[in-house]
């Protein structure tokens, strides 16, 4: 007997595997009787037909059975960290880019730079000869500048250090010289190539980035227990260089690039785990090698969440009756769009001709297959829905009927797309770049920033995604930035450094138009009144170093001692 046949056998005895589910089934008479009738009908059919339909029976749409009960949800959704929002935004990124990860980057970058320079025949005036070992502080400033480049977009990296008045951005020059930035980017490395053995490495094609991927996946999982509804979908990172496992997906925004499979929390879009696709050698759990590739993706990503009553939403690349049977045996529900050419889908459902708005359904145990005719046929599989129709308003103020499973699928299946939309607004990854592993690293930095933002929102943070990133940049510069010293000229302190330097309050001097001019207090104006409008308060005082207006008390102290107010 094959593995698939064994799974179906287990599914037929599903209701006896869980006392809560069994009682729910028995309480619904129509649901129970519907399946008992189907069972008796199947006994009279030929063995060929029985194999063909795999015990699926057509439902009476005019009197549909009750929806199959969900598995009891036994997980406890929570963020497993004690975080004080008043400590600022940077603590959320530090969860993922912690000291251990930074130590890997610093160590491997320095070793790679030394090895490359030592083995290269450099010119006498080569920039590489000016290389000095980098540090954790410098790497964090380097990351801050890369994040800022995703917000302040320019056609070329050199333009950020341009002295042309019409396009200059002097902030970059104040923080780090272009030569130093270029050298760090050139030698940026994440693994020891000298110790690599393709025969023993668990993922040879990603060996240059494997320590980073393993660390971040672990931190993503350990930080949060997701809510009940989770989603699996693929994401495509733009990459047009030479790479034999590069993908072409015409429906994605990037079209060409490196594909990754992502499991995320449906409501927030938090990335719980990801797998980077590297062709036929993509790393999946060995326990699921007998399954098709799409099912291997699902089971590998869902492994930490199985047997806890989670509900998974997928698209038609993953959804199949076979996968549903496997998940049911692991006390996990699933629903999503379905290809009717999948194995075990009844031929009658494939051939069924429907008119606009009509619906039909087949069911076996908890697995319900639904086909609905909209502008074109829509097919879905669900272990928690029945083929019930609900009324929904249309854009013409007309009431239309849609299957409930379609409405819930449209509302839930969007976590990965939501993340992709936010990442394309302020991408850290550059369009130009030949080294694929560096592109993947900066993409993972983007994903970590997104996860940090989701955690920030879960703790009541009010910043938008843009302002969150800007504040992360400021905090990185404040904590790790140093004077950019140049020979023969004094260095310039990065601005702002409002939490780390000495500051003095001064009275705003008279101007040509006003004898006693005022400015808006930065702290007061950052607040809102009971009606949601910004508070406006004028003051005679300001901090000349930060160049902001501040009330004498307590705003001056608040601004220079608190990260958020």
- Concatenating the DSSP letter of every residue in 281-342 gives T----GGGTTS-HHHHHHHHHHGGGTTTT-EEEE-TTT--HHHHHHHHHTT-EEEEE--TTS
Are 175 and 101 in the same domain?
yes
pLDDT computed for residue 6 by the predictor? 37
Are 548 and 449 in the same domain?
no
In a domain, 375, yes or no: no
Q: Which residue in 233, 237, 257, 377 sits closest to 318, CA to CA?
A: 233
pLDDT computed for residue 393 by the predictor? 81
53 and 348 Cβ atoms separated by less than 8 Å: yes
Cis before 496 (ω within 30): yes
d(CA 33, CA 39): 10
pLDDT computed for residue 241 by the predictor? 81
| Rounded mean pLDDT for each run of 10 residues along the chain, 565 residues in total | 38 37 34 34 39 71 92 95 90 96 97 90 80 95 96 92 88 92 95 88 91 96 96 89 81 80 94 94 90 95 96 95 96 96 91 92 94 94 94 80 93 82 83 83 96 95 94 93 52 50 85 88 83 82 89 89 78
d(CA 284, CA 286): 6
pLDDT computed for residue 531 by the predictor? 67
Q: End-to-end distance of the chain based on CA atoms, in angstroms?
A: 66
- Per the structure, the complete domain to which residue 549 belongs is given by 506-561
| DSSP characters over 182-210 | HHHHHH---S-GGG--TTT-SSGGGTTTH
Are 438 and 557 in the same domain?
no
Are 209 and 146 in the same domain?
yes
3-state secondary structure of 525: helix
Are 441 and 534 in the same domain?
no
In a domain, 388, yes or no: no
Are 140 and 185 in the same domain?
yes
Are 137 and 98 in the same domain?
yes
d(CA 318, CA 313): 10
Per-residue HEC secondary structure of 549-562 comes to ECCCCCHHHHHHHC
In a domain, 100, yes or no: yes
In a domain, 151, yes or no: yes
φ, ψ dihedrals at 379, nearest 5°: -120, 135
CA distances from 248 to 175, 240, 244, 405, 563 (A): 39, 10, 11, 30, 44
d(CA 506, CA 542): 6
d(CA 448, CA 218): 12
Local structure of residue 276 (DSSP, 8 states): E
Are 530 and 449 in the same domain?
no
Are 118 and 157 in the same domain?
yes
pLDDT computed for residue 4 by the predictor? 40
Are 440 and 518 in the same domain?
no
Are 193 and 111 in the same domain?
yes
CA distances from 191 to 7, 281, 447, 500 (A): 42, 20, 20, 34
139 and 438 Cβ atoms separated by less than 8 Å: no
d(CA 111, CA 102): 14
Q: What is the pTM of this model?
A: 0.76
In a domain, 191, yes or no: yes
> How many other β-carbons are positioned within 10 Å of the β-carbon of residue 62?
5
Which tens digit of pLDDT belongs to each residue from 201-210? 889 899 999 9
CA distances from 122 to 127, 177, 179, 289 (A): 9, 22, 16, 49
Are 527 and 482 in the same domain?
no
In a domain, 321, yes or no: no
Local structure of residue 501 (DSSP, 8 states): S
In a domain, 466, yes or no: yes
In a domain, 397, yes or no: no
CA distances from 548 to 117, 215, 475 (A): 46, 41, 18
Q: Which residue in 412, 492, 421, 390 sits closest to 173, CA to CA?
A: 492
pLDDT computed for residue 432 by the predictor? 66
3-state secondary structure of 363: strand
* Structural domain count of the chain: 2
Q: Please name the residue that has the structure tokens 């380097």.
A: 142
**Per-residue buried b or exposed e for 38-55, using 16+ beta carbons within 10 Å of the residue's own CB:** beeebeeeeeeeeeebbb
What token pair was written down for 346?
Answer: 């009844």
CA distances from 205 to 178, 211, 279 (A): 32, 13, 9
Cα torsion angle, 528, 529, 531, 533, sign: negative
CA angle 405, 33, 46 (to 5 degrees): 95
């Amino acid at each position: 007997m094959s593995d698939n046949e064994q799974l179906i056998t287990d599914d037929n005895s599903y209701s006896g595997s869980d006392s809560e589910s069994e009682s729910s089934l028995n309480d619904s008479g129509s649901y129970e009787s519907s399946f008992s009738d189907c069972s008796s009908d199947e006994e009279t059919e030929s063995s060929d037909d029985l194999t063909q339909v795999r015990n699926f029976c057509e439902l009476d749409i005019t009197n549909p059975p009750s929806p199959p009960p969900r598995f009891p949800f036994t997980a406890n959704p929570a963020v497993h960290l004690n975080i004080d929002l008043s400590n600022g935004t940077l603590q959320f990124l530090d969860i993922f880019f912690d000291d251990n990860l930074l130590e890997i980057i610093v160590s491997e970058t320095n070793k790679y730079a030394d090895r490359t320079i030592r083995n290269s025949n450099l010119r006498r005036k080569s920039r590489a000869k000016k290389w000095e070992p980098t540090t954790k502080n410098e790497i964090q400033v380097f990351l801050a500048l890369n994040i800022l480049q995703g917000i302040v977009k320019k056609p070329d990296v050199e333009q950020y250090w341009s002295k042309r008045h019409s396009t200059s951005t002097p902030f970059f020059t104040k923080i780090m010289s272009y030569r130093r930035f270029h050298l760090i980017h050139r030698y940026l490395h994440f693994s020891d190539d000298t110790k690599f053995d393709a025969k023993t490495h668990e993922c040879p094609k990603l060996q240059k980035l494997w320590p980073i991927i393993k660390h971040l996946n672990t931190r993503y999982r350990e930080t949060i227990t997701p809510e009940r509804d989770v989603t699996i979908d693929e994401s495509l990172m733009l990459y047009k260089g030479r790479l034999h496992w590069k993908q072409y997906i015409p429906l994605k925004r990037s079209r060409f690039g490196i594909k990754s499979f992502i499991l995320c929390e449906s409501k927030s879009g938090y990335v719980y785990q990801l797998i980077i696709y590297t062709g036929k050698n993509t790393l999946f759990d060995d326990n699921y090698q007998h399954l098709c590739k799409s099912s291997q993706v699902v089971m590998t990503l869902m492994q930490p969440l199985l047997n806890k009553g989670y509900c998974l939403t997928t698209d038609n690349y993953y959804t199949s009756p076979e996968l549903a049977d496997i998940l049911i045996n692991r006390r996990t529900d699933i629903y999503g769009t379905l290809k009717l050419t999948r194995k075990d889908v009844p031929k009658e459902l494939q051939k069924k001709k429907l008119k606009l708005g009509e619906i039909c359904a087949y069911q076996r145990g908890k697995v319900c297959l639904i086909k609905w005719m909209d502008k074109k046929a829509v097919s879905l599989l669900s272990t928690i829905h029945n083929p019930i129709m609900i009324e929904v308003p249309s854009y013409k103020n007309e009431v239309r009927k849609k299957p409930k499973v379609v409405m819930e699928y449209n509302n839930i299946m969007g976590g990965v797309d939501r993340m992709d939309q936010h990442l394309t607004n302020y991408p850290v990854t550059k369009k130009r770049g030949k080294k694929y592993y560096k592109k993947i690293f900066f993409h993972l930095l983007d994903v970590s920033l997104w996860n940090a933002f989701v955690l920030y929102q879960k703790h009541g943070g009010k910043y938008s995604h843009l302002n969150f990133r800007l504040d992360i940049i400021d905090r990185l510069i404040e904590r790790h930035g140093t004077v950019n010293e140049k020979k023969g000229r004094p260095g310039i302190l990065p601005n702002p450094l409002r939490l780390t330097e000495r500051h003095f309050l001064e009275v705003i001097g008279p101007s040509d138009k006003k004898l006693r001019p005022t400015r808006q207090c930065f702290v007061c104006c950052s607040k809102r009144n009971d009606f949601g409008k910004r508070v406006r308060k004028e003051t005679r005082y300001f901090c000349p170093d930060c160049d902001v207006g501040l009330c004498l008390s307590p705003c001056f102290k608040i601004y220079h001692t608190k990260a958020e107010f």
